[in-house]
Amino acid sequence: MSSIYVTGGKPLFGALRVQGAKNSALPILSAAVLAEGVSVIRNCPKLTDTEAAVRILREVGCRVWQDEDALYVDSSGPIRPEIPSRLMREMRSSVIFLGPLLARCGEARMSAPGGCEIGARPIDLHLSALRSLGAEIDERGGNLDCRAARLRSCRIDLPFPSVGATENALLAACLGDGETVITNAAREPELRDLEAFLNSAGASVSGAGSAVIRVQGKADLHGAVHRIMPDRIAAATWLAACAAAGGDVRLYDTEWRDYRPVLRSLREMGCELHTGENLVRIRSLGRLKAASPIVTRPYPGFPTDAQPPLMAAALTAEGTTAFQETIFESRFRHIPELRRMGADIRTEGRTAVVWGVPKLYGAEMCAPDLRGGAALIIAALGAEGESRICGVHHLDRGYAAIEKSLAELGAETVRKEDGDG
Ligand code: UD1
């Protein structure tokens, strides 16, 4: 087990390249199962979640290898449509393999993913979308047993624009008969990236990124070459870090249009932001001001994943900032940890109000989940003295060595194995 130690009070300066998007890499790795042949996936972030996806790919029969440049997935051999529960437990979003395995093999078996740190996370919308496509799904004893000799075209009206359910439906429909239309689809930018990969693999998908996605089913798909889009949540994390610590940071390889609501809140807080082609520059000088209420919503609203990092930046802003979390029910677990640093946060149900304090003090804290862990690191960067953050495995799911990225910007952040001096 390791911890990250942060010595706060040092402004951040310099430039940082933003990693490829985790939330795009995972569905695209699952899509490689559908694309019979070799897929070349560039800019795939090195994360424990992508490693877990690679273990699943190998388990089902794909050959996977990598070099400096790319990850290669060869799915031309026979595919075993079964994911053992030990692999399902490693990563909740493994359920994204359900649609591709079902479409490719006509059957799929896996254990149902349970809840996780941020909420119950049901998959009823995934399953009803696949049933509309003709799948028979048996859910017994926590296992999913799915069958569909042929997937048929249909209209899927999602009651909520779930990202995962939209992705599973879209992936399965690629090998269906005729045209499938998904309405009230999630509009997150990662859906556009998935569409781009699928179309390069020979699929016929249109409308991803809007609320109506149309898929013309094909008999088969082939391997494709694709570069994963930049990670908008990692970008929001680095911007919130600079806002909290002060400084002047340039992010490159980033698409700022994908996270406009985050930029709007940071501007309200008094940060100077300049955007260019694949570039964002943030300057944070002096004490921040409170932002107007931040309410998480499906895209194009404020992203739920950026709520904890922005809350961390608001802790020392002058005035009060309200946060309302409408997507996940347990997404405030970083708050008790932040209070250890002297943060003044009051919660009621899904609303948290931050009363800005002049100063935070280093503390020992434990990351409760991925983005909550990022919030602790960000708050520690702006605090006086040293902090120790445990539960680093949560951070490694979504950031490729977060302490190294921040150290590149001049932060004093080091990882130590527990027990090291
Ligand atoms: C969510 C985020 C997404 C983010 C991702 C990674 C939203 C809308 N989605 O996607 O932007 O990139 O986390 O952290 O912000 N739900 C059901 N039944 C289902 C599926 C979902 O009730 O079958 C509910 C969930 O409990 C949750 C909401 O729908 O309250 C959003 O879920 P969903 O979009 O599916 O979550 P992710 O795909 O994980």
The answer, yes or no, to whether any atom of ligand 1 lies below 6 A from the CB of 119, is yes
Across 54-80, average pLDDT: 97
Q: For residue 322, list its beta bridge partners.
A: 353
Note the pLDDT tens digit of each residue in 225-273.
Answer: 999 999 999 999 999 999 999 999 999 999 999 999 999 999 999 999 9
- On whether both 251 and 173 belong to a single domain, the answer is no
Backbone φ and ψ for 311, nearest 5 degrees, come out as -60, -40
Note the pLDDT tens digit of each residue in 99-158.
Answer: 999 999 999 999 988 667 777 789 999 999 999 999 999 998 889 999 998 999 999 999
Among 44, 62, 105, 116, which one carries the catalytic annotation? 116
- On whether both 153 and 296 belong to a single domain, the answer is no
- What domain range is 147 assigned to? 22-227
Cβ–Cβ under 8 Å, residues 374 and 237: yes
Q: How many domains does the chain have?
A: 2
Mutate-to-test residue for ligand 1 from 160, 190, 294, highest number of ligand atoms within 8 A of CB = 160
Backbone φ and ψ for 184, nearest 5 degrees, come out as 55, 35
Using alpha carbons, list the distances in angstroms from residue 328 to 43, 96, 117, 305, 313: 29, 19, 10, 10, 21
Q: Which of 227, 248, 267 lies at the terminal end of a domain, its last residue? A: 227
pLDDT above 90: percentage of residues in the chain = 92
- On whether both 163 and 292 belong to a single domain, the answer is no
- On whether both 114 and 245 belong to a single domain, the answer is no
Q: Which of 191, 208, 227 lies at the terminal end of a domain, its last residue? A: 227
Q: What b/e string do you get for 59-92 counting C-beta neighbours within 10 Å, with b at 16 or more? A: ebbbebeeeeebbbbbbeeebebbbeeebbebbb
- On whether both 64 and 187 belong to a single domain, the answer is yes
Statement: residue 287 has pLDDT above 90: yes
The answer, yes or no, to whether any atom of ligand 1 lies below 6 A from the CB of 305, is yes
Q: Say which CATH number the domain at 130 has.
A: 3.65.10.10
Q: What is the largest CA-CA distance in the chain?
A: 63
CA of 419 to the centre of ligand 1 (A): 38
pLDDT above 70: percentage of residues in the chain = 99
State the pTM of this model. Answer: 0.97
Using alpha carbons, list the distances in angstroms from residue 78 to 33, 62, 317: 10, 8, 57
The answer, yes or no, to whether any atom of ligand 1 lies below 6 A from the CB of 162, is yes
- On whether both 205 and 333 belong to a single domain, the answer is no
Across 374-400, average pLDDT: 97
CA of 260 to the centre of ligand 1 (A): 20
| Res 205: pLDDT | 98
- On whether both 205 and 263 belong to a single domain, the answer is no
Q: Is 146 a catalytic residue?
A: no
- On whether both 205 and 99 belong to a single domain, the answer is yes
- On whether both 222 and 260 belong to a single domain, the answer is no
- On whether both 195 and 235 belong to a single domain, the answer is no
How do strand 279-284 and strand 247-252 relate by DSSP bridges? Answer: antiparallel
Q: For residue 66, list its beta bridge partners.
A: 71
The answer, yes or no, to whether any atom of ligand 1 lies below 6 A from the CB of 298, is yes
Mutate-to-test residue for ligand 1 from 49, 93, 96, 121, highest number of ligand atoms within 8 A of CB = 121
Backbone φ and ψ for 274, nearest 5 degrees, come out as -125, 135
Three-class SS state of 353: strand
Q: Which of 197, 227, 257 lies at the terminal end of a domain, its last residue? A: 227
Q: Count the neighbouring beta carbons within 10 Å of the beta carbon of residue 136.
A: 12
Measured distance between the N- and C-terminal CA atoms of the chain, rounded to whole angstroms: 14
User: Residue 312's pLDDT band (boundaries 50, 70, 90)?
Assistant: very high
Ramachandran sector of residue 139 (left: φ over 0; alpha: ψ -120 to 50; beta: rest): beta
Q: Which atom of ligand 1 is nearest to the CA of 164?
A: 38
Q: For residue 281, list its beta bridge partners.
A: 250, 274
Instruction: Share the mean pLDDT of the chain.
Output: 96
Statement: residue 420 has pLDDT above 70: no
- On whether both 220 and 273 belong to a single domain, the answer is no
- On whether both 252 and 200 belong to a single domain, the answer is no
Statement: residue 421 has pLDDT above 60: no
Backbone φ and ψ for 279, nearest 5 degrees, come out as -150, 140
